[in-house]
A and B are shown apart, each in its own frame.
Chain A
Amino acid sequence: MPMHSQVFSQIGEAAHALSSNRSSRYFGGGTLVMRQVNAGNQSFDTIIRSTDPSLKQVQISGDQVIIGASVTMSQVIASRDLDFLKSAASVIGGPAIRNMATVGGNLFARSPYGDFTTALLALEATVALSGGRSDVPIADFLTQRFREPKPLVISVSVPRPRDGNAFRFLKIMRVKPMGVSLMTIAAHLPQSGGRLANPRVAYGSMGDTPIRANAVERALEGKTLDAQGIAPALAVATEGITPRTDSIASEWYRREVAPAHLERLLLGTGG
């Protein structure tokens, strides 16, 4: 079946076309969809794009930053309002990919990709869908993202960390500087009175989607961010999680190295 390509200036029109055609895919930056097109993927024959300029905007709204779904990784890196996400955007692919890959597109990247989404998960971002809710918690979104009718993301809303240093990000790759993630860890570690208050830790490339490491979060709550304080968290680094086996690493390997990488992230000795 030949490929078809449709472009809409209004995001609502694009959303309608997407949800009414089961063999369509939304084209953000193309870094995921064009791979499939080039490989002759038979599950879709229509690419849908939108040129709606609002998709490329970054706006501040109170303590939230609203990132348009078509904002590229390069734009994130260049944006002062998104400086806390620079470390995550900087390790997505190489320079060319970063000029093309979008925040919205990364939400649909399957493991072992999706590193930027892992950062958003740790920051408890919400997702605005065209014709739908404007504040879907990202964890919920990740469980529904491939269901029909396909959702079209308009923007992602991220609470700005009060302390920029409280957000940490580590992507573990064998090949540097551009490599696939063996494990990605994003952590928001706010402190109050020298102790962790509501820490959030997310893993990428460990499961089929980015996931929160709930056991680690519970173990870090109220602790000091030093070797002694984090020891209980390291002991439960993969509790409740079954790491995936893929061509990058086995479940066993991921389980073995997770505590080591988590320790480096928490103590600031990683990267």
Chain B
Amino acid sequence: MIEFRKDIFADERDDNLNEIGKPTRRQDILGHVTGRSPFYDDHQFEGLLHLKCLRSPHHHARIRSIDTKPAEQMPGVHRIIQGSDVKVNLNTLLSLMNFGEDDEPVLSDKKVSYVGEPILAVVAETERQAFDAIAKIRVDYEVLPHVLDPEEALQPNAPLVNETMPGNAFPYHEKYNHQKLRFGDVEAAFAQADHIVEDRYQMSPIEQAPIEMCGAIAAPETNDRFVCYTSTQALFFSLGTAAKVLDVPSNRLHFIGGTVGGGFGGKVDSLHEPLAILGCMLTGRAVRYAFDRQEEMQVGAPRGAERWYIKDAVMNDGRITARKFTGYFDVGAYTRLSSYAIIKAAGHLPGPYTIPNVYADIYCVYTNRTPATAMRGFGITGVDFAIESHMDQIAHKLGMNPIELRLINSYMDGDMKAHRREAKNTALVECMQVAAEKSGWNIAPDFKAMSSHNGGEGWRSEIPHTVTDTNGQIGNGVPASTVRPATTSIPAYVPSQNPSYAAPPAQPARPVSPPTPQSNVQATPTAPPQASAPASSSTPKRPRVSRFSSISGTRRR
């Protein structure tokens, strides 16, 4: 049962609510219990073809050659799709919002940067026939050194994971290899502190693991359009990405979705629609492209690993006077949405606490892991785990009640937050009071009497004199971070028996000949071929001009 604490903030709202606070049936639950909810795969198509991808078995490798000849004539194979078939074969998801740089191929036929990266696609009458054909394709790999830890990836001699991103770090504001947050002077506060409490926190990648696997079915529709049924959580996002990557006007795309068998953030990456639609364009038939369970777990984007170093200046009475963060987001091989996650995290710091001096460097780091994406509290969950664990560490060190410690430092209305917004409608104080009451956790009467309305006084509402720096400036050399060795060794990856992961061939491959197009869609040249970059770079390239974005600069109110 839900209990409504209407006594709290009672003067701030009307209480004439008709729907909120009353149980009501979900509008879609009748479909769920009758099995009629139209998930993307619950549509029948005559002559449906199946698309499966050949995927990299290596963390990092250059592709010398691909021989698709043995597969082309196999029973049931309609088309083999390669990178050259994709009109715009280099994309980043946030280009739809003019943020970042195109860095990820739809099909990677020159270099692969994570296990499971798709190299080409086979479209066949049945999945089995697609698997059989994939098993016959010969790929000649030159295995490259790989890096699987974000701090190692930032070392000057680390393998270059993503050729668009020198130094394996996303360039923020075209200036720095990390996102900065500066508020006040943490070093001065450290010098004055009664205690310094510092620790390291980390989180492994977490797979959303929905019961429904990602997928899309595309079919020709009337008036030279394509209809696409998809599991995506973000229909317009997916439509825009497909339009860009396939270079078709968006009014030729008819996307149908919104019935998602569990997303949790894992169905925002729009991997499936472009290839399904392209398969449809190239064959003239309905095409289904879906992950199987192994692909969902291995290739489907997880919430990325994070590592946080937190150093606090703490006074004997429990006031935290400074908080310094160094955060590493391991975003895997490609940017996708992660560049935005870091900015979200920066705006979230130092947590729901008013701390007069805050310093953060947050890195968006590329490693040879599966590219990461959103999940439940995108950009925030990992750092909140770190922050709240750290608060408990402080309470333990001071011998203080951990709830009282939080109340002492809680933000309140009128306080200035570290990213220079005034705190409004805060409720941490009241939430902790009720949580303490409900769990029978004693807090002193003074704390029970606190209110979120009592903020904003004196220094709390002011932006302090802030010390800034130009550490990590791109082009001026990036200082090496202190290497802290990972404490767990990562077992060697053993490619599975699944034929989607082609094993290296037993004999040298013949040179590839380009496939002849089988449809009347003109295969125009893709983005200009990448200059073959060295496997590692010692000095970062001057970045191409990246697009300005409302995310990182002026924000709409």
Contacts and interface: CB of A to CB of B under 8 A. Distances in A.
Given A39-B294, A42-B132, A245 B497 contact: no
Nearest to A250: B491
B292 A2 contact: no
B205 to A, nearest CB: 13
A3 interface: yes
A42 B131 CA distance: 8
A258 B96 CA distance: 53
Nearest to B134: A40
Contacts of A1: 132
Interface in A220-271: 245, 250
Contact of A245 (B127, B132, B491, B498): B491
A151 B151 CA distance: 51
Given A39-B498, A43-B497, A2 B294 contact: no
B497 A2 contact: no
B491 A40 contact: no
Interface residues of A, number: 12
Interface string A9-53: 000000000000000000000000000101111110000000000
Contacts of B52: 40
Q: Give the residue among A40, A42, A245 with the most B Cβ atoms within 10 A.
A: A40
B395 interface: no
Contact of B127 (A40, A41, A43, A250): A40
Contact of B128 (A2, A245, A250): A2
A38 B500 CA distance: 13
Contacts of B428: none
Nearest to B131: A40
Contacts of A41: 497-499
A21 B132 CA distance: 19
B491 A39 contact: no
B196 interface: no
A49 to B, nearest CB: 19
A32 to B, nearest CB: 13
Contact of A39 (B129, B132, B292): B292
Interface string A93-130: 00000000000000000000000000000000000000
Contact of A42 (B75, B127, B135): B135
A41 B491 CA distance: 24
Interface in B55-87: 75
Contacts of B129: 2
A43 B75 CA distance: 18
B498 A3 contact: no
Contacts of B294: 39
Nearest to B500: A40
Contacts of A38: 292
A23 B463 CA distance: 73
A109 to B, nearest CB: 15
Interface of A: 1-3, 36, 38-43, 245, 250
Closest 4 CB pairs of A and B: A40-B131, A42-B135, A42-B499, A39-B498
